[in-house]
Chains A and B, each alone.
Chain A
Protein backbone atom coordinates (compact mmCIF):
# COMPACT_ATOMS: atom_id res chain seq x y z
CA UNK A 1 0.00 0.00 0.00
CA UNK A 2 1.39 3.35 -0.96
CA UNK A 3 -0.55 6.54 -0.59
CA UNK A 4 1.99 9.29 -0.33
CA UNK A 5 0.94 10.85 -3.63
CA UNK A 6 -2.82 10.84 -2.95
CA UNK A 7 -4.29 14.32 -2.77
CA UNK A 8 -7.35 13.93 -0.59
CA UNK A 9 -8.82 17.43 -0.82
CA UNK A 10 -12.55 17.62 -0.10
CA UNK A 11 -13.07 19.48 -3.39
CA UNK A 12 -11.61 16.55 -5.29
CA UNK A 13 -13.72 14.08 -3.34
CA UNK A 14 -16.91 15.89 -4.25
CA UNK A 15 -16.21 15.15 -7.89
CA UNK A 16 -15.35 11.54 -7.30
CA UNK A 17 -16.93 9.29 -9.84
CA UNK A 18 -15.76 5.84 -8.74
CA UNK A 19 -19.01 4.96 -6.97
CA UNK A 20 -21.22 6.23 -9.78
CA UNK A 21 -19.14 4.36 -12.36
CA UNK A 22 -19.47 1.21 -10.28
CA UNK A 23 -23.25 1.59 -10.30
CA UNK A 24 -23.17 2.18 -14.04
CA UNK A 25 -21.04 -0.92 -14.59
CA UNK A 26 -23.45 -3.03 -12.56
CA UNK A 27 -26.61 -1.60 -14.09
CA UNK A 28 -25.33 -1.85 -17.67
CA UNK A 29 -24.44 -5.46 -16.88
CA UNK A 30 -27.89 -6.18 -15.48
CA UNK A 31 -29.46 -4.54 -18.54
CA UNK A 32 -27.42 -6.69 -20.89
CA UNK A 33 -28.20 -9.85 -18.93
CA UNK A 34 -31.92 -9.09 -19.20
CA UNK A 35 -31.57 -8.32 -22.90
CA UNK A 36 -29.60 -11.50 -23.61
CA UNK A 37 -32.14 -13.75 -21.92
CA UNK A 38 -34.96 -12.08 -23.79
CA UNK A 39 -32.92 -12.41 -27.01
CA UNK A 40 -32.28 -16.10 -26.32
CA UNK A 41 -35.94 -16.81 -25.68
CA UNK A 42 -37.14 -14.82 -28.71
CA UNK A 43 -34.73 -16.52 -31.11
CA UNK A 44 -35.30 -19.80 -29.26
CA UNK A 45 -38.99 -19.52 -30.19
CA UNK A 46 -37.90 -21.09 -33.48
CA UNK A 47 -37.76 -24.34 -31.54
CA UNK A 48 -41.54 -24.10 -31.13
CA UNK A 49 -42.10 -23.03 -34.72
CA UNK A 50 -40.33 -20.83 -37.29
CA UNK A 51 -43.65 -19.02 -37.82
CA UNK A 52 -43.70 -17.85 -34.18
CA UNK A 53 -40.14 -16.57 -34.47
CA UNK A 54 -41.00 -14.74 -37.71
CA UNK A 55 -44.03 -13.11 -36.08
CA UNK A 56 -41.96 -11.93 -33.13
CA UNK A 57 -39.22 -10.57 -35.42
CA UNK A 58 -41.82 -8.82 -37.57
CA UNK A 59 -43.36 -7.22 -34.50
CA UNK A 60 -39.97 -5.78 -33.44
CA UNK A 61 -39.20 -4.57 -36.96
CA UNK A 62 -42.62 -3.09 -37.73
CA UNK A 63 -42.66 -1.22 -34.42
CA UNK A 64 -39.14 0.08 -35.17
CA UNK A 65 -37.80 -1.49 -31.98
CA UNK A 66 -35.17 -3.52 -33.86
CA UNK A 67 -33.98 -0.50 -35.85
CA UNK A 68 -33.79 1.77 -32.81
CA UNK A 69 -33.28 -0.76 -30.02
CA UNK A 70 -30.52 -2.62 -31.86
CA UNK A 71 -28.11 0.33 -32.02
CA UNK A 72 -29.08 1.29 -28.45
CA UNK A 73 -28.15 -2.18 -27.26
CA UNK A 74 -24.88 -1.79 -29.15
CA UNK A 75 -24.23 1.45 -27.26
CA UNK A 76 -25.05 -0.23 -23.95
CA UNK A 77 -22.71 -3.08 -24.92
CA UNK A 78 -19.88 -0.64 -25.64
CA UNK A 79 -20.62 1.37 -22.48
CA UNK A 80 -20.48 -1.80 -20.39
CA UNK A 81 -17.13 -2.65 -21.95
CA UNK A 82 -15.68 0.79 -21.20
CA UNK A 83 -17.01 0.71 -17.63
CA UNK A 84 -15.86 -2.82 -16.86
CA UNK A 85 -12.52 -2.20 -18.57
CA UNK A 86 -11.61 0.02 -15.60
CA UNK A 87 -10.89 -3.22 -13.75
CA UNK A 88 -9.43 -5.33 -16.56
CA UNK A 89 -5.64 -5.48 -16.60
CA UNK A 90 -4.54 -4.31 -20.05
CA UNK A 91 -0.87 -4.04 -19.20
CA UNK A 92 1.18 -7.19 -19.68
CA UNK A 93 2.74 -6.71 -16.26
CA UNK A 94 -0.66 -6.85 -14.53
CA UNK A 95 -1.84 -9.71 -16.73
CA UNK A 96 1.18 -11.73 -15.66
CA UNK A 97 0.51 -10.90 -12.01
CA UNK A 98 -3.14 -11.97 -12.08
CA UNK A 99 -2.32 -15.11 -14.08
CA UNK A 100 0.40 -16.17 -11.65
CA UNK A 101 -1.89 -15.27 -8.78
CA UNK A 102 -4.75 -17.42 -10.08
CA UNK A 103 -2.43 -20.36 -10.80
CA UNK A 104 -0.93 -20.18 -7.33
CA UNK A 105 -4.13 -19.71 -5.35
CA UNK A 106 -6.23 -22.65 -6.66
CA UNK A 107 -9.33 -20.59 -5.97
CA UNK A 108 -12.43 -21.12 -8.09
CA UNK A 109 -13.79 -17.55 -7.84
CA UNK A 110 -10.45 -16.05 -8.84
CA UNK A 111 -10.42 -18.30 -11.94
CA UNK A 112 -14.02 -17.30 -12.65
CA UNK A 113 -12.89 -13.70 -12.82
CA UNK A 114 -10.07 -14.60 -15.24
CA UNK A 115 -12.64 -16.43 -17.38
CA UNK A 116 -14.99 -13.45 -17.23
CA UNK A 117 -12.31 -10.96 -18.25
CA UNK A 118 -11.06 -13.14 -21.13
CA UNK A 119 -14.54 -14.01 -22.45
CA UNK A 120 -15.29 -10.27 -22.35
CA UNK A 121 -12.57 -9.57 -24.91
CA UNK A 122 -13.80 -12.26 -27.31
CA UNK A 123 -17.45 -11.24 -26.87
CA UNK A 124 -16.52 -7.62 -27.57
CA UNK A 125 -15.25 -8.55 -31.02
CA UNK A 126 -17.65 -11.37 -31.90
CA UNK A 127 -20.68 -9.58 -30.47
CA UNK A 128 -19.90 -6.51 -32.54
CA UNK A 129 -19.58 -8.64 -35.70
CA UNK A 130 -22.87 -10.39 -34.91
CA UNK A 131 -24.75 -7.15 -34.34
CA UNK A 132 -23.42 -5.62 -37.54
CA UNK A 133 -24.20 -8.75 -39.56
CA UNK A 134 -27.80 -9.00 -38.31
CA UNK A 135 -28.78 -5.34 -38.09
CA UNK A 136 -27.37 -4.47 -41.51
CA UNK A 137 -29.47 -7.22 -43.09
CA UNK A 138 -32.99 -6.81 -41.69
CA UNK A 139 -35.64 -8.24 -41.70
CA UNK A 140 -34.94 -11.24 -39.48
CA UNK A 141 -36.61 -14.33 -40.94
CA UNK A 142 -36.07 -17.87 -39.65
CA UNK A 143 -35.38 -19.27 -43.10
CA UNK A 144 -32.83 -16.55 -43.88
CA UNK A 145 -30.99 -17.32 -40.63
CA UNK A 146 -31.03 -21.01 -41.54
CA UNK A 147 -29.66 -20.27 -45.02
CA UNK A 148 -26.84 -18.11 -43.62
CA UNK A 149 -25.72 -20.89 -41.30
CA UNK A 150 -26.12 -23.66 -43.87
CA UNK A 151 -24.35 -21.80 -46.69
CA UNK A 152 -21.34 -20.92 -44.63
CA UNK A 153 -20.34 -23.39 -41.92
CA UNK A 154 -18.08 -20.75 -40.39
CA UNK A 155 -21.16 -18.89 -39.23
CA UNK A 156 -22.33 -22.00 -37.41
CA UNK A 157 -18.90 -22.37 -35.80
CA UNK A 158 -18.97 -18.66 -34.98
CA UNK A 159 -22.28 -18.91 -33.12
CA UNK A 160 -21.41 -22.24 -31.50
CA UNK A 161 -18.49 -20.42 -29.92
CA UNK A 162 -20.18 -17.10 -29.20
CA UNK A 163 -23.32 -18.47 -27.50
CA UNK A 164 -21.56 -20.46 -24.73
CA UNK A 165 -19.08 -17.63 -24.16
CA UNK A 166 -21.91 -15.14 -23.72
CA UNK A 167 -23.83 -17.35 -21.31
CA UNK A 168 -20.76 -18.18 -19.23
CA UNK A 169 -19.91 -14.45 -19.07
CA UNK A 170 -23.51 -13.63 -18.12
CA UNK A 171 -23.69 -16.29 -15.44
CA UNK A 172 -20.42 -15.29 -13.79
CA UNK A 173 -21.45 -11.63 -14.05
CA UNK A 174 -24.76 -12.31 -12.34
CA UNK A 175 -23.04 -14.26 -9.57
CA UNK A 176 -20.46 -11.56 -9.05
CA UNK A 177 -23.01 -8.73 -8.94
CA UNK A 178 -24.96 -10.65 -6.30
CA UNK A 179 -21.98 -11.31 -4.04
CA UNK A 180 -20.23 -7.99 -4.63
CA UNK A 181 -23.23 -5.85 -3.79
CA UNK A 182 -24.25 -8.10 -0.92
CA UNK A 183 -27.53 -9.27 -2.47
CA UNK A 184 -26.28 -12.77 -1.66
CA UNK A 185 -24.50 -13.15 1.67
CA UNK A 186 -22.17 -15.82 2.96
CA UNK A 187 -25.06 -18.20 3.62
CA UNK A 188 -26.48 -17.88 0.09
CA UNK A 189 -23.23 -18.09 -1.85
CA UNK A 190 -23.17 -21.86 -2.39
CA UNK A 191 -26.80 -22.04 -3.45
CA UNK A 192 -26.36 -19.06 -5.76
CA UNK A 193 -23.40 -20.75 -7.44
CA UNK A 194 -25.42 -23.89 -8.04
CA UNK A 195 -28.30 -21.84 -9.43
CA UNK A 196 -25.96 -19.96 -11.78
CA UNK A 197 -24.38 -23.22 -12.97
CA UNK A 198 -27.80 -24.62 -13.86
CA UNK A 199 -28.74 -21.34 -15.51
CA UNK A 200 -25.61 -21.43 -17.69
CA UNK A 201 -26.25 -25.04 -18.68
CA UNK A 202 -29.90 -24.37 -19.57
CA UNK A 203 -29.05 -21.20 -21.52
CA UNK A 204 -26.24 -22.84 -23.47
CA UNK A 205 -28.56 -25.81 -24.10
CA UNK A 206 -31.34 -23.61 -25.52
CA UNK A 207 -28.87 -21.64 -27.65
CA UNK A 208 -27.18 -24.72 -29.10
CA UNK A 209 -30.55 -26.36 -29.80
CA UNK A 210 -31.67 -23.16 -31.55
CA UNK A 211 -28.56 -23.19 -33.73
CA UNK A 212 -29.11 -26.80 -34.69
CA UNK A 213 -32.77 -26.10 -35.44
CA UNK A 214 -31.54 -23.55 -38.02
CA UNK A 215 -28.90 -25.94 -39.26
CA UNK A 216 -31.43 -28.69 -39.99
CA UNK A 217 -34.19 -26.37 -41.23
CA UNK A 218 -35.40 -27.15 -44.71
CA UNK A 219 -36.53 -24.55 -47.21
Chain B
Protein backbone atom coordinates (compact mmCIF):
# COMPACT_ATOMS: atom_id res chain seq x y z
CA UNK B 1 0.00 0.00 0.00
CA UNK B 2 1.21 3.47 -0.86
CA UNK B 3 2.45 5.54 2.04
CA UNK B 4 0.90 8.80 2.94
CA UNK B 5 3.72 11.37 3.08
CA UNK B 6 3.61 14.44 5.25
CA UNK B 7 5.70 17.35 3.98
CA UNK B 8 6.59 20.07 6.47
CA UNK B 9 7.70 22.96 4.33
CA UNK B 10 9.23 26.30 5.31
CA UNK B 11 7.08 29.16 4.06
CA UNK B 12 8.05 32.79 3.92
CA UNK B 13 7.86 35.44 1.27
CA UNK B 14 10.28 38.28 2.06
CA UNK B 15 8.60 40.43 -0.61
CA UNK B 16 5.31 40.34 1.25
CA UNK B 17 5.22 42.46 4.42
CA UNK B 18 2.30 40.40 5.76
CA UNK B 19 4.25 37.14 5.46
CA UNK B 20 6.02 35.64 8.49
CA UNK B 21 8.37 32.62 8.49
CA UNK B 22 6.45 29.48 9.42
CA UNK B 23 6.16 25.78 8.62
CA UNK B 24 3.24 24.45 6.61
CA UNK B 25 2.21 20.81 6.20
CA UNK B 26 1.02 19.08 3.05
CA UNK B 27 -0.04 15.45 2.69
CA UNK B 28 0.52 13.41 -0.47
CA UNK B 29 0.10 9.77 -1.46
CA UNK B 30 3.45 8.32 -2.43
CA UNK B 31 3.73 7.06 -6.01
CA UNK B 32 6.28 4.79 -7.68
CA UNK B 33 9.77 6.29 -8.13
CA UNK B 34 8.60 9.54 -6.59
CA UNK B 35 11.30 12.18 -6.15
CA UNK B 36 11.01 15.37 -4.14
CA UNK B 37 10.87 17.16 -7.48
CA UNK B 38 7.71 15.26 -8.40
CA UNK B 39 6.22 15.66 -4.94
CA UNK B 40 6.80 19.44 -4.79
CA UNK B 41 5.36 19.92 -8.26
CA UNK B 42 2.27 17.95 -7.30
CA UNK B 43 1.85 20.03 -4.14
CA UNK B 44 2.14 23.19 -6.21
CA UNK B 45 -0.30 21.95 -8.84
CA UNK B 46 -2.85 20.33 -6.59
CA UNK B 47 -2.66 22.13 -3.26
CA UNK B 48 -0.90 25.49 -3.25
CA UNK B 49 0.16 27.31 -6.42
CA UNK B 50 2.01 29.94 -4.38
CA UNK B 51 4.71 27.48 -3.21
CA UNK B 52 8.13 28.68 -4.37
CA UNK B 53 11.02 26.35 -5.22
CA UNK B 54 13.64 26.15 -7.95
CA UNK B 55 14.00 23.50 -10.64
CA UNK B 56 15.46 23.32 -14.06
CA UNK B 57 17.01 20.08 -15.28
CA UNK B 58 15.40 17.40 -13.02
CA UNK B 59 18.59 15.37 -13.45
CA UNK B 60 21.13 16.63 -10.93
CA UNK B 61 22.98 18.76 -13.45
CA UNK B 62 21.77 22.34 -13.05
CA UNK B 63 22.10 22.54 -9.26
CA UNK B 64 19.02 24.71 -8.76
CA UNK B 65 17.00 22.46 -6.46
CA UNK B 66 19.36 22.36 -3.48
CA UNK B 67 17.41 22.44 -0.21
CA UNK B 68 17.68 21.10 3.32
CA UNK B 69 15.97 17.70 3.33
CA UNK B 70 15.34 16.35 6.84
CA UNK B 71 18.31 18.36 8.06
CA UNK B 72 20.75 17.56 5.24
CA UNK B 73 21.40 19.77 2.23
CA UNK B 74 20.73 17.84 -0.97
CA UNK B 75 19.18 18.01 -4.42
CA UNK B 76 15.41 17.55 -4.49
CA UNK B 77 15.48 15.99 -7.96
CA UNK B 78 18.04 13.41 -6.81
CA UNK B 79 16.18 12.45 -3.66
CA UNK B 80 13.67 9.61 -3.85
CA UNK B 81 10.87 9.68 -1.30
CA UNK B 82 11.27 5.93 -0.72
CA UNK B 83 14.64 6.67 0.90
CA UNK B 84 12.99 9.05 3.37
CA UNK B 85 10.65 8.52 6.32
CA UNK B 86 6.97 9.44 5.89
CA UNK B 87 7.60 12.74 7.66
CA UNK B 88 9.68 15.00 5.43
CA UNK B 89 10.87 18.43 6.49
CA UNK B 90 12.09 20.81 3.79
CA UNK B 91 13.95 24.04 4.51
CA UNK B 92 15.70 26.49 2.19
CA UNK B 93 19.52 26.35 2.11
CA UNK B 94 21.00 28.63 4.76
CA UNK B 95 23.83 31.13 3.98
CA UNK B 96 22.21 32.18 0.67
CA UNK B 97 19.68 34.95 0.29
CA UNK B 98 16.12 33.73 0.49
CA UNK B 99 13.95 34.37 -2.55
CA UNK B 100 10.88 32.78 -0.98
CA UNK B 101 9.87 29.46 0.64
CA UNK B 102 12.43 26.91 -0.61
CA UNK B 103 13.96 29.12 -3.27
CA UNK B 104 17.32 30.78 -2.57
CA UNK B 105 19.63 32.93 -4.66
CA UNK B 106 22.81 30.88 -5.06
CA UNK B 107 23.58 32.76 -8.29
CA UNK B 108 24.63 36.06 -6.70
CA UNK B 109 26.76 34.24 -4.14
CA UNK B 110 28.60 32.24 -6.81
CA UNK B 111 28.93 35.32 -9.01
CA UNK B 112 30.75 37.08 -6.18
CA UNK B 113 32.85 33.96 -5.74
CA UNK B 114 33.94 33.98 -9.41
CA UNK B 115 35.09 37.57 -8.99
CA UNK B 116 37.03 36.77 -5.84
CA UNK B 117 38.82 33.69 -7.11
CA UNK B 118 38.99 35.07 -10.66
CA UNK B 119 37.42 31.96 -12.02
CA UNK B 120 38.85 32.01 -15.51
CA UNK B 121 42.08 30.99 -17.28
CA UNK B 122 44.70 33.72 -16.83
CA UNK B 123 46.98 33.77 -19.82
CA UNK B 124 48.95 36.33 -21.79
CA UNK B 125 48.73 34.23 -24.96
CA UNK B 126 46.55 35.80 -27.62
CA UNK B 127 43.83 33.48 -28.82
CA UNK B 128 44.20 32.41 -32.41
CA UNK B 129 40.92 30.93 -33.64
CA UNK B 130 42.62 29.40 -36.68
CA UNK B 131 45.28 27.50 -34.75
CA UNK B 132 44.68 23.88 -33.71
CA UNK B 133 43.72 23.46 -30.06
CA UNK B 134 46.66 23.06 -27.71
CA UNK B 135 47.09 19.48 -26.59
CA UNK B 136 46.96 18.36 -22.99
CA UNK B 137 47.79 15.01 -21.36
CA UNK B 138 44.69 12.85 -20.88
CA UNK B 139 45.49 12.46 -17.21
CA UNK B 140 45.62 16.22 -16.65
CA UNK B 141 42.43 16.80 -18.62
CA UNK B 142 40.67 14.14 -16.57
CA UNK B 143 41.76 15.57 -13.25
CA UNK B 144 40.60 19.04 -14.32
CA UNK B 145 37.30 17.55 -15.44
CA UNK B 146 36.91 15.77 -12.11
CA UNK B 147 37.06 19.14 -10.29
CA UNK B 148 34.96 20.84 -12.94
CA UNK B 149 32.02 18.54 -12.25
CA UNK B 150 30.83 20.91 -9.51
CA UNK B 151 27.28 22.05 -10.35
CA UNK B 152 27.37 24.90 -7.82
CA UNK B 153 24.21 23.81 -6.05
CA UNK B 154 25.45 25.32 -2.78
CA UNK B 155 24.93 22.17 -0.67
CA UNK B 156 28.56 22.15 0.55
CA UNK B 157 28.27 25.79 1.60
CA UNK B 158 25.00 25.24 3.45
CA UNK B 159 26.47 22.20 5.25
CA UNK B 160 29.68 24.02 6.27
CA UNK B 161 30.02 25.09 9.90
CA UNK B 162 32.59 27.74 9.00
CA UNK B 163 30.43 29.22 6.21
CA UNK B 164 27.54 29.41 8.68
CA UNK B 165 29.67 31.41 11.11
CA UNK B 166 31.70 33.64 8.81
CA UNK B 167 30.06 35.12 5.72
CA UNK B 168 33.36 35.78 3.92
CA UNK B 169 34.40 32.10 3.82
CA UNK B 170 34.86 30.76 0.28
CA UNK B 171 33.66 27.28 1.19
CA UNK B 172 34.50 23.99 -0.48
CA UNK B 173 33.02 25.05 -3.84
CA UNK B 174 35.20 28.18 -3.91
CA UNK B 175 38.40 26.53 -2.73
CA UNK B 176 37.84 23.65 -5.13
CA UNK B 177 37.45 26.13 -7.95
CA UNK B 178 40.93 27.52 -7.23
CA UNK B 179 42.26 23.94 -7.14
CA UNK B 180 40.82 23.40 -10.60
CA UNK B 181 42.78 26.33 -12.10
CA UNK B 182 45.88 25.47 -10.12
CA UNK B 183 46.28 22.17 -11.99
CA UNK B 184 45.34 23.66 -15.36
CA UNK B 185 48.56 24.10 -17.42
CA UNK B 186 46.92 26.86 -19.48
CA UNK B 187 46.52 29.11 -16.43
CA UNK B 188 49.70 31.15 -15.96
CA UNK B 189 49.00 32.19 -12.38
CA UNK B 190 51.77 31.35 -9.92
CA UNK B 191 51.50 29.59 -6.58
CA UNK B 192 51.84 33.03 -4.99
CA UNK B 193 48.83 34.30 -6.95
CA UNK B 194 46.72 31.42 -5.70
CA UNK B 195 48.05 31.96 -2.20
CA UNK B 196 46.77 35.52 -2.33
CA UNK B 197 43.29 34.22 -3.05
CA UNK B 198 42.96 31.29 -0.66
CA UNK B 199 45.98 31.51 1.69
CA UNK B 200 43.88 33.05 4.47
CA UNK B 201 41.19 32.21 7.00
CA UNK B 202 38.73 33.34 4.35
CA UNK B 203 40.08 30.50 2.21
CA UNK B 204 41.75 27.20 2.99
CA UNK B 205 42.97 28.05 6.51
CA UNK B 206 39.44 28.90 7.59
CA UNK B 207 38.36 25.32 6.89
CA UNK B 208 37.93 23.48 10.19
CA UNK B 209 37.78 20.04 8.61
CA UNK B 210 34.22 19.15 9.61
CA UNK B 211 33.86 17.40 6.24
CA UNK B 212 30.12 17.94 5.94
CA UNK B 213 30.87 19.29 2.43
CA UNK B 214 32.40 15.95 1.50
CA UNK B 215 29.48 14.04 3.00
CA UNK B 216 26.60 16.00 1.44
CA UNK B 217 28.00 16.76 -2.03
CA UNK B 218 25.42 15.31 -4.45
CA UNK B 219 28.08 14.95 -7.14
CA UNK B 220 30.49 13.16 -4.76
CA UNK B 221 33.25 15.61 -5.57
CA UNK B 222 36.59 14.66 -3.95
CA UNK B 223 36.36 17.61 -1.56
CA UNK B 224 38.19 16.07 1.39
CA UNK B 225 41.19 15.15 -0.75
CA UNK B 226 41.11 18.51 -2.50
CA UNK B 227 40.95 20.54 0.72
CA UNK B 228 43.77 18.47 2.23
CA UNK B 229 45.95 18.92 -0.86
CA UNK B 230 45.40 22.68 -0.98
CA UNK B 231 46.00 23.13 2.77
CA UNK B 232 49.37 21.42 2.45
CA UNK B 233 50.27 23.31 -0.70
CA UNK B 234 49.24 26.72 0.66
CA UNK B 235 50.76 25.81 4.03
CA UNK B 236 54.13 25.32 2.36
CA UNK B 237 53.76 28.65 0.53
CA UNK B 238 52.92 30.30 3.86
CA UNK B 239 56.12 28.93 5.39
CA UNK B 240 58.18 29.99 2.37
CA UNK B 241 56.80 33.52 2.68
CA UNK B 242 57.28 33.60 6.44
CA UNK B 243 60.89 32.50 6.35
CA UNK B 244 61.62 34.69 3.32
CA UNK B 245 62.00 31.74 0.88
Contacts and interface: CB of A to CB of B under 8 A. Distances in A.
Contacts of A176: 208-209
Interface in B151-172: 159, 161-162, 164-165, 167-171
A7 to B, nearest CB: 12
Contacts of B116: 1, 3
B72 A105 contact: yes
A179 B231 contact: no
Interface stretch (B34-42, B43-51, B132-140, B233-241): B233-241
A189 B242 CA distance: 31
Classify the interface of chain A: helix, strand, loop or mixed: helix
A180 B209 contact: yes
B83 to A, nearest CB: 15
Interface residues on B, range: 35 or more
Given A101-B161, A107-B159, A181-B228, A2 B238 contact: no
B145 interface: no
A189 B227 CA distance: 14
A87 B208 contact: yes
Interface of B: 68, 71-72, 91, 94, 109, 112-113, 116, 159, 161-162, 164-165, 167-171, 174, 195-196, 199-202, 205-212, 214-216, 222, 224-225, 227-229, 231-232, 234-235, 237-239, 241-242
6 contacts: A13-B195, A18-B205, A107-B215, A109-B215, A179-B228, A189-B224
Which 3 residue pairs are nearest across A and B when measured between Cβ atoms? A182-B228, A19-B238, A180-B209
Interface of A: 1-3, 6, 8, 10, 13-14, 16-23, 86-87, 89, 94, 97-98, 101-102, 104-107, 109-110, 112-113, 176, 179-183, 185-186, 189
